[in-house]
Amino acid sequence: MVNVHLQARVPDGVDAVAAFALIAPEIFADADTVDRLGAFPADAIASLAAAGLLTRPLPRAHGGEALAVAAEATEAADCLGALLTAIGAASLTVGRLFEGHCNAILLVDRYGGPMATLAAEASAGRISGVWNAERGAGLQARRCSDGWRLTGRKVHCSGAGSIRRPLVTAQTPDDGPLMCLVDMASAGIAVDLSVWQAAGMRGTATGTVDFDDVFVAADAVIGGPGDYYRAPLFAGGAWRVLAVQLGGLRQILALHAAQLTRSGRGADAVSRHRFSAAAGAFESARLLVAEAGRRATDATAPPDAIVAYVDLARGTFETLALLGVDAARRNAGLAAFLGPDPLDRCCRDLETYLRQPMLDASRDNAAAYLLARGGAFQP
C-alpha cells in the first residue's frame, strides 16, 4: 500500500531531486531497519511511489517526465544523475533498486516493448528491475507458436519475490539473449532468497529465481535477440550505477565528518590528513561521474569511446571509493565496524555494491583503447 499521505508533501511542479529531498530523511532512517532485518525496503519504495518518483522515469506519453528516457541526451543526464546520487546517499539499497527500474524503462523505450505494462506497474506503486546475471547454462528461451518458453535459472536477482514485472534476459539457441517482461505470478517460477547472506546491501532481497517452462507472450518481448548487449547502452549505462554509488560515498564522507566533530578527533592533525584525503577522493569521484554521464549520453560520441570512458570511470571510482571508506574506518576506529552506527552500514553497503561484475575487464578495455590512441581521452 502506497503511503498516500506523502502526496500532499510533494507540491506540483517540484523537480525530482527536490521531491526526493522531502522523503530522504525517512528513507535514511528506514535503511537501518532494512539492514538489520535483511528485508526488502517496501516502505521506502512506497514513499518513492507516493512522491511520484516511480512514474517520472516513464516517457511523457505514458504519464512520466521522460527522466530515464531523456537521460540518453546529455542535457538530461545531470538531472537523473543528481537524483540517483541523492537516493544513494539516503540508501544504497533503494538506489540500486531505483536504478534498475530506470534501466528497465530505458531498455523498453529504446528497443520497443510493453511500456504500458511498466507504466501500469509504476502507477500502482511497484518498481521494476533488470535481471541479467546467471551461472552455468543460465536461463534458456525457446520459441513456441505464440511466444517463448523459459527454462533455467537466474542468479543475483535484486528484488526477487517483491518485483512483479522484471525485465529478464534469456539465451536463445542462435541469436543472442532475449529481453522479456516476466509476470512473476506465472506458474513455474520459484524464488530462493536464502542464498543472499551478504555483508552489505542486505535489503535488496537478492535471490535465485528458477523458471520451469514459463510462458512469455510475444507482446512481452523487448526488442530482438542480442539487443541487450548492444553498445554503448549496455556498458555505457554503468554510469548510472556510479551515480548511485557516489551518493553512498557522499554519505560516508558526511558521517565521517560528523564523527570527527563529535569525538573531538578533528583537532588531531593525523585525523585531518585522512579526512582531507577522503574529501579529495570524493571530489575526484564527483567530477569523474559527472563526466562519465555527460560522455555516456552524448549522441555524437562513438560507441567505443563511450564504453572506454565509462570503463575507466568504473575502475577509477572503485579506487577512490575504497580510499574514502578506509579513511573513515581508520578515523572512526571500532565505531565504524559496530552497528547501529550508520557509518558501519554505509561502509558495508558501498563495499558490497562496488563488487560489480567484470571490473578488471573494464579496466583492461579502457587501457587498450587509450594505448591505441596515445594514452589520454580528448576533452
Q: What is the pLDDT of residue 14?
A: 84
Q: Specify if 56 maps to a domain.
A: yes
Give the residue ranges of DSSP H helices in the chain: 16-21, 24-37, 42-50, 74-90, 92-111, 115-123, 233-236, 238-263, 269-296, 303-332, 342-353, 359-371
pLDDT band of 6, cuts 50, 70, 90? very low
Q: Do 357 and 322 share a domain, yes or no?
A: yes
Beta carbons within 10 angstroms of residue 356's beta carbon: 14
Residue 203 lies in a domain: yes
CATH number at residue 29: 1.10.540.10
Q: Which CATH number covers residue 207?
A: 2.40.110.10
Same structural domain, 283 and 358 = yes
CATH number of the domain that residue 290 is part of: 1.20.140.10
What does the DSSP assignment read for 147-193? EEEEEEEEEEETTTTT-SS-EEEEE-SSS-EEEEE--TTSTTEEEE-
**Cell matching residue 339:** 552497528
Residues 187 and 272 in one domain: no
- Check pLDDT > 50 for residue 7: no
Single residue among 123, 140, 170 that ends a domain in this structure: 123
| Same domain assignment for residues 175 and 290 | no
- Is the pLDDT confidence value at 11 over 70? no
Mean pLDDT of 206-221: 96
Judge if 236 and 366 occupy the same domain. Answer: yes
pLDDT tens digit sequence for 306-360: 999 999 999 999 999 999 999 999 999 998 898 889 999 999 999 999 999 899 9
Paired sense of beta strands 167-171 and 130-131, if any: parallel
**pLDDT digit string, tens, across residues 264-292:** 999 999 999 999 999 999 999 999 999 99
Q: Assess whether 106 and 154 both reside in one domain.
A: no
Same domain, 245 and 363: yes
- Cα gap 350→251, rounded to integer Å: 10
Same domain, 207 and 266: no
Which of residues 195 and 128 earns the better pLDDT score? 128
Q: Which of 57-71, 152-166, 328-342 has the lowest mean pLDDT?
A: 57-71
Return the amino acid letter for 115: M
CA 120/CA 128 separation, integer angstroms: 11
Same domain, 175 and 119: no
Cβ neighbours of residue 303 under 8 Å, at least 6 residues apart? Answer: 231, 232, 236
Q: Looking at the 3D structure of the chain, how many domains does it have?
A: 3
Give yes or no for residue 3 having a pLDDT over 50: no
Q: Could you tell me if residue 311 is inside a domain? A: yes
- Of 69, 88, 123, which one is at a domain's C-terminal end? 123
Residue 96 is predicted with a pLDDT of 98
Quick one: which of 80, 97, 8 has its CA closest to 44?
Answer: 97
Q: Single out the residue in 227, 248, 276 at which a domain terminates.
A: 227
Question: What's the grid cell of residue 91?
Answer: 540508501
Q: Is residue 108 part of a domain?
A: yes
Is pLDDT at 1 greater than 70 in this prediction? no
Residue 219 lies inside a defined structural domain of this protein: yes
Please compute the mean of the pLDDT values over residues 350-375 and round it to a whole number.
Answer: 96
Within-domain flag for 376? no
What whole-number percentage of the chain has pLDDT above 90? 86
Task: Give CA separation, 268 vs 222, 224, 258, 261, 275, in Å.
Answer: 57, 60, 14, 11, 11
Reported pTM = 0.95
pLDDT at residue 147 tops 90: yes
Clarify whether residues 222 and 235 are in a common domain: no
| Residue 294, in any domain of the structure | yes
Whether 177 and 217 share a structural domain? yes
Among residues 121, 105, 103, the alpha carbon closest in space to that of 113 is found at: 105
**pLDDT higher than threshold 60 for residue 177:** yes
Residue with cell 540518453: 72
379 inside domain = no
Domain that holds residue 312: 231-371
Whether residues 113 and 186 fall in one domain: no
